[in-house]
């Protein structure tokens, strides 16, 4: 009995860690840069497939690809923001117009990135084995890779939270999220912060992809379900609140694990039911304004 | 069938329009079976696009739900197709979609637009998973077989739905409800303060648009003969209407029609000749249109004609 | 008799009381001013009356009917119209359609579309915007947009008109014209409740003035008595 609970909890933490990571990434992009990035899942996919290539084809430890996935995704996100979204902002008549058109643009981005991935990797499902040996904890077996991934996700999440709370750049980011105009007036280089946040969000997606690839198979069209989950978590956590996304991610992961234990295949349905409940009761989310 | 953009534009005048309609109505008498099937696909996309624009165009609430309503229609056909006559099945598909849309609308339209969009995006995946779970758990099989219907019947049913839809869209645009819908898109707060029952109008219009999508799904299912949750609830049927509307422009009724026709023909061409670059091209076109052609083809055409777009809105 | 009445109206944003236990009575046929330093809660009070916000406690009655927390469109149809501080017109629609919307939807007894069109044209003339009727609203000057908002509000056949800083941002000529417009509206028998910062407008037009400060009513009375009121002067100068 206790073993089952532990199993569920740890599985939930693993899922939650991943969810928290991808949700925080999206939260940065929506909360600060005001882009509801529908192509978020594609960055996750890119991270996963890149890691696969590095690990499988070059025989290198997947953690090495962390050094590649993170920064490359960051640069990609930064460039995309500076070229596409900055341009879009300057031609948008109002912030709400920008929100719609940037979302639609990210939609186009999704098509483009997915197609490029299909060209580069083909539609086949790819997987590799790493740290797949079992570890004994309190009488149950857990894959070492899953434990490592969870630990990693938590470390990154907490580290990022501290970055936001303690560092100067982090505080600039939070200020920009709260009130871009005032932050700009107070000397924060708003444009740089927006691009930085977008890039950071993409980086988190890339890293999440790498972590996912360690535990699950990856393929070119895996992105959308993750995007949806990220969006639901962001909404649950309060549309742009990064701590909210962190907590929401773990909450959802835990719920997903519990539901999957009793009724596999209903996890997404459960997420949606919670989403509906939240919309009815507290539309601003767990930590919303 | 190679209609150039110019001819489609001229077709707005009533006389030419009538001839065009008659030509379409009699298509099955003179065209090849391939053409009939192709035009049927075009009709399907026009319906999805125009009905999407009925709500999302004026209000600015971007919905990704068409695939959900389309899928509901498909499954209605799959489940009831053997029990009830075709017209009833199609109607039922429309009605169930209507009810689902009412529920979704009532739940999410009273909140900020982004919640609505998010919800509709996941609705398709949700429906797919729910149905998949249900099938695995209760019926034991995956997917269903659909009653077969001949292509001519499918063509005419879609033609009828299309005509009804175009009529509905036209009437709404010119009516006080069209005015109210546009005002909601401009400023919901001001609209409410001017006496418009914003929530009711939004929800009802959204539900109305769903009827056509559901009905279309019900009839299209008969072309595929076998459907499962993955086939029925495919996000492509949400993405395409959005793309086509943005491309064609939503300021005028012919915009979405134009967008749907051109895109469907583009899709046909791309899939046969450059299948590996299809999504890339579509994505790039979307980005280009969003940045350089925010009013879509309609905006472009009106610029050529040197007419200011708002003159179309003025009520006599 | 009081057309509009507020009893103990209170609204909190987080821990902050934006409006706190405010009582007010707006007599029929009068022009009442609502003044106070920035952040006093004036627009919040309007938002509470017009249904944008729901008060935490307190009651708002219109013609003895309780309208507290009612939806905006219903309050509008009952006879309360308003303009907004940041001008809220339908930018991409032609001028006349803004007013037309009000004429069609703003009443419990809807006019036919033909009558509504006529009413819209009459109102455009009333505010002096007849020539601009087909122009897209966003290309209007600020002063014209404000007049359009007034016309749209009047199209809903209100008994009470809430004006939120109508005079803000207007130049000298526009100010005089707009003050005349307000008088013309009053002459039509419409009760006016207006938020203003421009003192000479308040002093010359209003019959009564209510003063808010930090969400509380600190004074109420005739323009003369308010001008001499020490608490009011301190509130403004002390900021």
CB of C105 within 8 Å of a chain B CB? The answer is yes
CB atoms within 10 A of CB A151: 13
Q: Worst-scoring range by mean pLDDT, B21-30, B42-51, B72-81, C57-66?
A: B21-30
Q: Worst-scoring range by mean pLDDT, B103-107, C96-100, C189-193, C197-201?
A: C197-201
Q: How far apart are CA A273 and CA A259, in angstroms?
A: 12
Smallest Cα distance from C28 to chain B, Å? 21
Q: Please answer whether residues B187 and C101 qualify as being in contact, where contact means their C-beta atoms are separated by less than 8 angstroms.
A: no
**Mean pLDDT across A235-243:** 80
Q: How far apart are CA B153 and CA A130, in angstroms?
A: 56
Q: Worst-scoring range by mean pLDDT, A130-144, C15-29, C66-80?
A: A130-144
pLDDT tens profile B218-227: 999 998 878 9
Range of the domain at B150: 34-312
In a domain, B25, yes or no: no
For testing the chain B interface, which of A108, A252, A264 should be mutated: the one with the most B CBs within 10 Å? A108
**Whether residue A257 has pLDDT greater than 60:** yes
Using an 8 Å CB-CB cutoff, list chain A residues near B239. 107, 111
In a domain, B87, yes or no: yes
Q: What is the pLDDT of residue B1?
A: 42
Q: What is the pLDDT of residue B312?
A: 47
Rounded to whole angstroms, the maximal C-alpha distance in chain B is 61
The mean pLDDT of chain C is 92
Per the DSSP assignment, residues forming a β-bridge with C191 are C160
* pLDDT band at B232; cut points 50, 70, 90: very high
Radius of gyration of chain C (CA): 18
Smallest Cα distance from B19 to chain A, Å? 37
In a domain, B249, yes or no: yes
Task: Provide the terminal-to-terminal Cα distance of chain A, rounded to the nearest Å.
Answer: 40
pLDDT tens profile B143-198: 788 788 888 889 999 999 999 999 999 999 999 999 999 999 999 999 999 999 99
Helix (H) or strand (E) holding B16: helix B14-25
Q: What is the pLDDT of residue A288?
A: 53
Q: What is the pLDDT of residue C161?
A: 97
The CA–CA distances, whole Å, from A223 to A22, A48, A235, B267 equal 11, 10, 18, 23
In a domain, B1, yes or no: no
Q: Please answer whether residues A146 and A215 qualify as being in contact, where contact means their C-beta atoms are separated by less than 8 angstroms.
A: yes
Q: What is the pLDDT of residue B303?
A: 82
CB atoms within 10 A of CB B14: 8
CB of A236 within 8 Å of a chain B CB? The answer is no
Q: How far apart are CA C75 and CA C62, in angstroms?
A: 9
* pLDDT band at B256; cut points 50, 70, 90: very high
pLDDT tens profile A177-206: 777 677 767 766 777 888 988 999 999 999
Q: Please answer whether residues B144 and B226 qualify as being in contact, where contact means their C-beta atoms are separated by less than 8 angstroms.
A: yes
Q: How far apart are CA A189 and CA A210, in angstroms?
A: 31
DSSP assigned state of C110: P
**Mean pLDDT across B288-299:** 90
Strands C16-27 and C2-13 turn out to be antiparallel
Give the residue on A whose Cα is nearest the Cα of B130: A269
Q: What is the pLDDT of residue A136?
A: 75
Q: What is the pLDDT of residue A264?
A: 83
CB atoms within 10 A of CB B266: 16
The CA–CA distances, whole Å, from C190 to A12, C88, C204 equal 63, 21, 18
Using an 8 Å CB-CB cutoff, list chain B residues near A235. 115, 118
In a domain, B262, yes or no: yes
Q: Please answer whether residues B313 and B182 qualify as being in contact, where contact means their C-beta atoms are separated by less than 8 angstroms.
A: yes
More confident residue, A133 or B232: B232
Matching residue, tokens 């709404």: B172
What CATH number should be reported for the domain holding residue C62?
3.40.50.300
Which of A207, A204, A185 is CA-nearest to residue A196?
A204
Question: Which segments of B109-197 does DSSP mark as H helices, in order?
Answer: 113-134, 151-174, 176-186, 188-193
**Whether residue B12 has pLDDT greater than 90:** no
Q: Worst-scoring range by mean pLDDT, A32-41, A135-144, B27-36, C85-94?
A: A135-144
Q: What is the pLDDT of residue C235?
A: 82
Q: How far apart are CA A264 and CA A258, in angstroms?
A: 9
CB of C136 within 8 Å of a chain B CB? The answer is yes
**Mean pLDDT across B230-234:** 92
Q: Domains (ranges, CATH) in chain A?
A: 2-122+138-281 (1.10.3470)
Q: With an 8 Å Cβ cutoff, are B235 and A99 in contact? A: no
Q: What is the pLDDT of residue B4?
A: 52
Considering only the beta carbons, identify the residue of B195, B198, B310 that sits closest to C93: B310
Which of A218, A240, A287 is CA-nearest to residue A25?
A240
CB atoms within 10 A of CB C205: 18
Q: What is the pLDDT of residue B311?
A: 45
Show the CA angle centred on residue A217, arms to residues A216 and A221, nearest 5°. Answer: 120
Smallest Cα distance from C131 to chain B, Å? 14
Neighbours of chain A (3+ CB pairs under 8 A): B
Q: What is the pLDDT of residue B151?
A: 85
Radius of gyration of chain B (CA): 19
Q: What is the pLDDT of residue B233?
A: 94
Using an 8 Å CB-CB cutoff, list chain C residues near B190. 84, 88-90, 152
Q: What is the pLDDT of residue B88?
A: 93
Q: How far apart are CA B8 and CA A257, in angstroms?
A: 54
- From the number of C-beta atoms within 10 Å of its C-beta (0-12, 13-18, 19+), residue A280 rates as exposed
What CATH number should be reported for the domain holding residue B62?
1.10.3470
Q: What is the pLDDT of residue B226?
A: 87
The mean pLDDT of chain B is 88
Considering only the beta carbons, identify the residue of B187, B189, B313 that sits closest to C97: B313
Per the DSSP assignment, residues forming a β-bridge with A269 are none
CB of A116 within 8 Å of a chain B CB? The answer is yes
Which of C43, C50, C93 is CA-nearest to residue C73?
C50
**Whether residue B2 has pLDDT greater than 50:** no
Strands C80-82 and C160-164 turn out to be parallel
Listed in sequence order, the residues at least 6 apart from C82 whose beta carbon sits closer than 8 Å to its beta carbon are B193, C46, C49, C50, C153, C161, C162, C163, C164
* pLDDT band at C238; cut points 50, 70, 90: low
pTM: 0.90
* pLDDT band at B10; cut points 50, 70, 90: low
Smallest Cα distance from C19 to chain B, Å? 21
Listed in sequence order, the residues at least 6 apart from C200 whose beta carbon sits closer than 8 Å to its beta carbon are none
In a domain, B61, yes or no: yes
Using an 8 Å CB-CB cutoff, list chain B residues near A99. 114
Q: What is the pLDDT of residue B91?
A: 94
pLDDT tens profile C182-229: 999 999 999 999 999 888 889 999 999 999 999 999 999 999 998 888
Q: How far apart are CA B61 and CA C104, in angstroms?
A: 24
Q: Please answer whether residues A71 and A141 qualify as being in contact, where contact means their C-beta atoms are separated by less than 8 angstroms.
A: no
* pLDDT band at A289; cut points 50, 70, 90: very low
Q: Please answer whether residues A39 and A107 qualify as being in contact, where contact means their C-beta atoms are separated by less than 8 angstroms.
A: yes
Chains B and C form CB pairs within 8 A to the count of 96
Q: What is the pLDDT of residue C84?
A: 95
- For B227-264, give one letter per residue: b (16+ CB within 10 A) or e: bbbeebbbbebbbbbbbbbbbbbbbbbbbbbbbbbbbb
pLDDT tens profile A11-35: 888 889 889 999 999 998 998 888 9
Q: How far apart are CA A255 and CA A240, in angstroms?
A: 22
Matching residue, tokens 């197609």: A115
More confident residue, A267 or C97: C97
Using an 8 Å CB-CB cutoff, list chain C residues near B183. 90, 93, 97, 101
**Mean pLDDT across A228-252:** 86
Q: What is the pLDDT of residue C101?
A: 95
For chain C, the domain total comes to 1
- From the number of C-beta atoms within 10 Å of its C-beta (0-12, 13-18, 19+), residue C167 rates as buried
The mean pLDDT of chain A is 85
Give the residue on C whose Cα is nearest the Cα of B174: C113
* pLDDT band at C40; cut points 50, 70, 90: confident
What's phi and psi for C10, nearest 5 deg?
Answer: -135, 140
Range of the domain at C106: 2-237
pLDDT tens profile A81-129: 999 999 999 888 888 889 989 999 999 999 999 999 999 998 888 888 7
Which of A8, A19, A28 is CA-nearest to residue A239?
A28
Listed in sequence order, the residues at least 6 apart from B310 whose beta carbon sits closer than 8 Å to its beta carbon are C92, C93, C94, C134, C136
Matching residue, tokens 């739900």: B65
Which of C9, C16, C83, C84 is CA-nearest to residue C45?
C9
CB atoms within 10 A of CB C206: 23
Q: With an 8 Å Cβ cutoff, are B117 and A279 in contact? A: no
Q: Worst-scoring range by mean pLDDT, A185-189, A214-218, B80-84?
A: A185-189
Q: With an 8 Å Cβ cutoff, are B308 and C136 in contact? A: yes
User: Helix count (H) and strand count (E) of chain B?
Assistant: 16, 2
- What percentage of chain C exceeds 90 in pLDDT? 74
**Mean pLDDT across B96-105:** 95
Considering only the beta carbons, identify the residue of B113, B121, B282 that sits closest to A231: B121
Sheet holding C16-27, edge to edge: C16-27, C2-13, C57-62, C65-66
In a domain, B268, yes or no: yes
Chain B: which residues have CB within 8 Å of chain C?
176, 179-180, 182-183, 186-187, 189-199, 308, 310-311, 313-316
Strands C208-213 and C216-221 turn out to be antiparallel
């Amino acid at each position: 009995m206790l073993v089952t609970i532990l199993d569920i909890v740890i599985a939930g933490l693993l899922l939650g860690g991943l969810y928290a990571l991808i949700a925080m990434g999206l939260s940065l992009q929506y909360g600060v840069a005001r882009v509801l990035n529908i192509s978020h899942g594609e960055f996750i996919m890119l991270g996963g497939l890149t890691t696969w290539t590095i690990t499988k084809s070059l025989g290198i430890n997947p953690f090495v690809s962390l050094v590649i996935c993170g920064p490359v995704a960051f640069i990609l996100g930064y460039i995309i923001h500076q070229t596409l979204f900055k341009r879009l902002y300057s031609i948008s008549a109002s912030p709400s117009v920008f929100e719609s058109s940037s979302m639609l643009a990210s939609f186009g981005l999704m098509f483009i990135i997915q197609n490029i991935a299909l060209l580069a990797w083909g539609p086949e499902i790819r997987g590799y084995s790493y740290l797949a040996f079992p570890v004994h904890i309190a009488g149950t077996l857990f894959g070492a890779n899953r434990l490592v991934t969870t630990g990693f996700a938590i470390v990154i999440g907490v580290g990022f939270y501290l970055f936001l709370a303690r560092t100067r750049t982090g505080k600039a980011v939070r200020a920009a999220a709260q009130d871009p105009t005032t932050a700009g007036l107070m000397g924060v280089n708003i444009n740089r912060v927006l691009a930085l946040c977008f890039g950071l969000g993409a980086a988190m997606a890339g890293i999440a992809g790498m972590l996912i690839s360690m535990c699950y198979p990856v393929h070119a069209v895996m992105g959308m379900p993750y995007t949806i989950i990220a969006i639901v978590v962001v909404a649950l956590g309060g549309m742009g609140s990064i701590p909210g996304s962190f907590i929401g991610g773990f909450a959802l992961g835990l719920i997903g694990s519990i539901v999957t234990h009793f009724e596999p295949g209903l996890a997404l349905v459960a997420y949606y039911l919670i989403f509906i409940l939240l919309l009815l009761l507290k539309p601003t989310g767990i930590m919303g304004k | 069938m190679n209609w150039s953009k110019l001819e489609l534009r001229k077709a707005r005048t009533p006389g030419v329009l009538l001839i065009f309609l008659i030509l379409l109505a009699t298509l099955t008498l003179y065209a090849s079976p391939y053409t009939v099937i192709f035009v049927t696909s075009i009709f399907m996309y026009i319906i999805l696009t125009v009905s999407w624009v009925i709500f999302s165009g004026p209000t600015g609430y971007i919905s990704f739900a068409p695939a959900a309503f389309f899928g509901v229609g498909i499954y209605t056909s799959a489940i009831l197709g053997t029990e009830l006559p075709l017209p009833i099945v199609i109607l039922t598909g429309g009605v169930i979609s209507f009810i689902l849309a009412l529920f979704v609308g009532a739940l999410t339209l009273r909140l900020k637009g982004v919640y609505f969009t998010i919800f509709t995006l996941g609705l398709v995946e949700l429906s797919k998973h729910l149905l998949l779970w249900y099938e695995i758990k209760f019926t034991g099989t995956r997917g269903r077989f659909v009653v077969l219907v001949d292509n001519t019947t499918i063509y005419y049913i879609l033609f009828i739905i299309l005509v009804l839809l175009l009529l509905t869209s036209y009437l709404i645009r010119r009516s006080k409800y069209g005015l109210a819908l546009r005002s909601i898109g401009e400023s919901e707060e001001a609209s409410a303060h001017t006496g418009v029952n914003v929530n009711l109008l939004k929800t009802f219009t959204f539900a109305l648009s769903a009827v056509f999508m559901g009905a279309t799904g019900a009839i299209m299912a008969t072309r595929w003969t076998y459907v499962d949750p993955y086939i029925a609830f495919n996000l492509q049927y949400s993405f395409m209407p959005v793309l086509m509307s943005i491309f064609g422009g939503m300021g005028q009724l012919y915009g979405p029609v134009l967008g749907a026709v051109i895109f469907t023909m583009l899709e046909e061409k791309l899939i046969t000749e450059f299948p590996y670059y299809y999504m890339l091209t579509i994505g790039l076109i979307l980005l280009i249109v969003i940045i350089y052609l925010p009013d879509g083809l309609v905006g472009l055409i009106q610029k050529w004609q040197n007419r200011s777009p708002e003159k179309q809105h003025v009520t006599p | 008799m009081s057309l509009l009445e507020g009893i103990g109206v209170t609204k909190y944003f987080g821990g902050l009381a934006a409006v706190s236990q405010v009582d007010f009575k707006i007599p029929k046929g009068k022009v009442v001013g609502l003044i106070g330093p920035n952040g006093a809660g004036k627009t919040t009070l309007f938002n509470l009356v017009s249904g944008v916000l729901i008060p935490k406690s307190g009651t708002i009655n219109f013609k003895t009917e309780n309208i507290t927390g009612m939806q905006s469109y219903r309050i509008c149809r009952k006879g309360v119209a308003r303009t907004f501080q940041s001008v809220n017109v339908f930018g991409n629609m032609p001028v006349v359609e803004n007013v037309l919307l009000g004429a069609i939807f703003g009443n419990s007894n809807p006019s036919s579309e033909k009558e509504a069109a006529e009413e819209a044209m009459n109102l455009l003339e009333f505010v002096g915007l007849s020539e601009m009727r087909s122009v897209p609203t966003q290309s209007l000057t600020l002063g014209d947009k404000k007049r359009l908002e007034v016309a749209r509000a009047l199209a809903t056949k209100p008994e009470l008109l809430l004006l939120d800083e109508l005079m803000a941002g207007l130049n000298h000529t526009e100010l005089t014209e707009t003050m005349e417009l307000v008088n013309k509206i009053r002459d039509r028998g419409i009760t006016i409740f207006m938020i203003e910062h421009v003192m000479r407008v308040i002093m010359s037009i209003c019959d009564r003035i209510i003063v808010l400060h930090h969400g509380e009513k600190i004074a109420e009375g005739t323009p003369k008595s308010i001008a001499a009121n020490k608490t009011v002067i301190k509130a403004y100068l002390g900021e």
